[in-house]
Amino acid sequence: MNGSDALAAGPRIWAVGALCRAVADALEARFNPVAVRGEISGFSRAASGHCYFALKDEAGQLRCAMFRRAAGLLDFTPRDGDQVEVRGRLAVYEPRGDLQLVVESLRRAGQGALFEQFLQRKARLEAEGLFDPAHKRPLPAMPRAVGLVTSQGAAALHDVVTALRRRVPHISVVLAPAAVQGSGAPAELVRSLRALYALQPPVDAILLVRGGGSIEDLWAFNDETLARTIVQSPVPVISGVGHETDFTIADFCADLRAPTPTAAAELVAPPRELWLGALELLEKRLSGALSGRLDAMYQRVDDAAGRLSRPSTLVMRQQMRLAQHAHRLRHVAQSRIQRLAQMRQGLETALPGQFARVLLQRRERLERASLRLQLLDPALVLERGYAWLTDADGKALTSVGQMEPGDAVQARLADGTADMTVGRTTTTRLRPTTAS
């Protein structure tokens, strides 16, 4: 066999592109679809929305591409170091001949069972009312002391303390250390919270924080006992667990959720400059109001001083008022005098005639009365021959039945009286009537 025959009997000679396509077809037939678990490395998102990264473990590394449609379905932002599980298909990127995994779905490693457990627990506690917004309390405007629950070795502790010292260095921070990861973490978190609840004097708010991590790393904050303990807090609780896309049961139970531990510290501690600015504004308003009040008082004092320095003006004003009153009094007095004069003149004219008429009337009435009296005078009757008989006691006798024979009687005549005795023989002693 010559050399040309040997070459003809050797491996098939492929065109580069054809070989890449053949390899891709082989991978498609042999492996796809495929699920892979590993750690994200070199994650980047292009302006087009496509994501590129590598999956690696101790033994190897695999390039991955996740196009915009699949990336838009993510419920978190992948970061380097995240343990994830991806599903997709193996392919060959022909322009470079690179093996790559085209990712169709991505989730945190172990998220399947744990996430289902998270959803079930969340739904049950929400139905009990532990997440009710009506129970959420507002944060204190100016806290004097803040409780902090986190791990002593956590970066979150440094971030929170740094933020608080920068913004409100005057407030106290009470650390209640607790593990934030592992099987014993939930019990330690509960114990630290209850220790803060029992403080006297109490803190004004509590920060419950830790850094980011996988769902397994944050699982302690999904504990049911911890959730109920947070709801029982006597003061507002702010949770700052993980990163912005991380959610735990503790976040829903807390009075307020912060996207990061640093943000939690900033929420409970408005910057000192803000309060100083508010105080400066209040000082300016108070100073302005006080100055205005003082100016008004000074003006009143000046006005009073002006009046006191010119008493002649006040005296002249009072003299004018007195002159007006005197003029009015004179006018009233003259009117009254004129009325009295008119009344006097009328009386002087009318009284003499009225008085004469009254005297005449009175004289006529007197004469008529005198005439009637004269007509009633008994002496006139006696002058006509009548006598007035009386008994010994002077009582008038008007009937013969009032006299008995021998009774002494007296008869009064026009010119005197006669004593008589009733009987057949009568003795008479005449007595002249005295003038009456």
For residue 169, the 8-state DSSP code is T
CB contact burial 223-260 (16+ within 10 A = b; e otherwise)? beebbebbbebebbbbbbbbbeebbbbbbbbbbbbbeb
pLDDT surpassing 60 at residue 425: no
Tell whether the torsion through CA atoms of 404, 405, 410 and 413 is positive or negative. positive
Reported confidence tier of residue 253, pLDDT bands at 50, 70, 90: very high
* Distance of alpha carbon 35 from alpha carbon 170, whole angstroms: 54
Take residue 367 and report the two structure tokens written for it. 């004469």
Q: SS3 for 330?
A: helix
* Distance of alpha carbon 413 from alpha carbon 37, whole angstroms: 176
Take residue 38 and report the two structure tokens written for it. 């590993």
Report yes or no: 38 and 83 within 8 Å, Cβ to Cβ.
yes
* Distance of alpha carbon 375 from alpha carbon 372, whole angstroms: 5
- Encode pLDDT of 365-384 as tens digits: 888 888 777 777 777 777 77
Average pLDDT score over the chain: 83
Q: Count the Cβ atoms, other than its own, within 10 Å of residue 27.
A: 16
- Encode pLDDT of 34-72 as tens digits: 888 888 889 999 998 899 999 988 888 889 999 989 888
For residue 310, the 8-state DSSP code is -
Q: What is the pTM of this model?
A: 0.46
Reported confidence tier of residue 273, pLDDT bands at 50, 70, 90: low
Tell whether the torsion through CA atoms of 87, 45, 49 and 79 is positive or negative. positive
Q: Which domains does the chain have, with CATH numbers?
A: 12-109 (2.40.50.140), 114-133+144-270 (3.40.50.2300), 381-432 (no CATH)
Which of 305 and 288 is assigned the larger pLDDT?
288
Residue where the block lists tokens 């049961």: 249
Average pLDDT over residues 201-217: 89
pLDDT surpassing 60 at residue 6: no
Cβ-proximal residues to 56 (8 Å cutoff; 6+ apart), any chain: 38, 39, 41, 62
Reported confidence tier of residue 220, pLDDT bands at 50, 70, 90: very high
- Encode pLDDT of 82-104 as tens digits: 888 888 888 887 777 778 888 99
Reported confidence tier of residue 191, pLDDT bands at 50, 70, 90: very high
Task: Show the DSSP H helices in 101-141 as ranges.
Answer: 111-128
3-class DSSP string for 90-155:
EEEECCCCEEEEEEEEEEECCHHHHHHHHHHHHHHHHHHCCCCHHHCCCCCCCCCEEEEECCCCCH
- Encode pLDDT of 223-232 as tens digits: 999 999 999 9
CA gyration radius, the chain: 68
